[in-house]
Structure 1
Amino acid sequence: MNPSYVGRFAPTPSGFLHFGSLVAALASYLDARAVGGRWLLRMEDIDPPREAPGAQAAILHTLESYGLEWDGEVVYQSQRHDAYAEIVQRLFQQGLAYACTCSRKQLEPFHGIYPGLCRNLGHEQHDAAIRVRVPELAYHFIDRVQGHFEQHLGRESGDFIIRRRDGLYAYQLAVVLDDAWQGVTDIVRGADLLDSTPRQLYLQELLGLSQPRYLHVPLIVQPDGHKLGKSYRSAPLPADQATPLLLRALRALGQPTDPALAQATPREVLTHACQRWNADAIPKCMTLAEADLR
């Protein structure tokens, strides 16, 4: 086991795993196992209203069926609220975050970029979202697949939410705190999260946390351009199709496959893939059409 590499897969139980989930999970798994690293599993269950009944158990069962075995205990974000609350209060008391009472309707004209309406109003925390103040700076990093990526936080994001008005904690905060707490060194995930990364880099800097390496794999999209996902009722991964779907996912990641593997077990496919894993072969693009992989 190589303790200098710690990867993770962090699904949201708002639905079942689909082929796009498999591509991301497989890339993360192989990138860790190819260097003898640890691969952790975290359930990002911080939004109960969006959680699908039975999804958590189904996700675990699917990963096991596909041979994707994780190290250690599963971490559940729903059990980490105290850690999130502590940081929110610290940032608020230091003046690095503030309460925001803006409604969605008020913010519609600004197209997702918060204009700072509540920044200097000194609202109380009750019945308010909490936003972190961002600097008028560009944050950039080198992604292992997508290359250089840069985002000006003030112009392209604005002060962003770390605790919602309903009291639930925001993804950007939870993911940063959990990755640091779990000692994650390498984050391999879908390209839809590429533009979230600068906000996470800022939080890491603000909280004095180390910065992981990032690798964002192409999203698998449908003919209409939408990514495969729970919102579009993408087909869940069937347990009895693990081998052919693993081979298809390997092709999506630009990895070599052998026709003889068609009769292999999922674990044999993963062993073969791990020995030949080459992250540099992953297509350097944001999306791949699912139809082209069949």
Structure 2
Amino acid sequence: MSCKLTPRGAVVLRNITLRTRQPTTPLLRSHPERRPVRQIDPSLIARRGLADDLHSRGPPPEDQSGPPPPPPPSTPAEYVPKPPELFAPNYLNAEALAALEKAAAGEDIDGEGEEGLLFGMPERVGKNQQLQDRYHPVVDQVTKLLMKDGKLGRAQRHMSLILNYLRTNPAPKVSPLRPLLPGSPSPEQLPLNPLLYLTLAIDSVAPLIRIRALKGAAGGGRALEVPEPMPARARRRIAVMWIIDAVCKKRSMGSGRNQFATRFAQEIVSVIEGRSGIWDKRAQVHKTGTAARANLTHFAVVGKKKR
């Protein structure tokens, strides 16, 4: 190897001789003077900073045995575009999409809340209705009659306990001596619908008439008893007040404070089975009204009607 130092201090390589690997043929191994000498461009080594000459070697000799096999023809696969994912796959987005589809179809969006409920969701308040009209009229009336000292929340809690007792209690045994309203369902179906259970008990024991006393109309300062019919709400009010009076006279049969709701529900069951004393009160009112029917033609009553 020969080199020359330039005035600027740089080293310029003129030529360089490097030995390659041993030849593979036995002829060249036996005669080392015949080994080929490979010339390498000195500019490549100077440019690479005298590194190894792996990258500066020429292309490897081709195999003399035969040409390389051609590569197999590659067929490109058909490109299938992936649809865009607009929403993440979770249940919240699924419910939102279902609600949008219902709204677009003109259906009720709030109908999904009825799944898993035993008695369904209450209907929404109409435009010309009040907020308290969303409750059943019997439930609302009984709850207001159970309220004491203006504590409506406690009365509503009692009402829920009463309905739960009627739902979980076994089916009652109706007495043939105290029949219920005509067209009532079988006793085995009453626990399935506690609201019907409560309404049937109150309407069955409610009196059909009431006795109104006209002071001094009978002569001699005596009152004249006149029977008159009542609307359904007034009949139910009298029946519920009778039940409350009977409940207040009973003692609690279990642990807890007073257990008013349990005693009220037990009285409802006894009314259905015909064991309650309220049936006697109802029979007494009807008996008095039957005896006082002749007073309907009294001049004190007829005269007032003509006026």
TM-score, length of structure 1 as denominator length: 0.23
Q: Which has the larger radius of gyration?
A: 2
* Larger proportion of strand: 1
* Larger proportion of helix: 2
TM-score, length of structure 2 as denominator length: 0.22
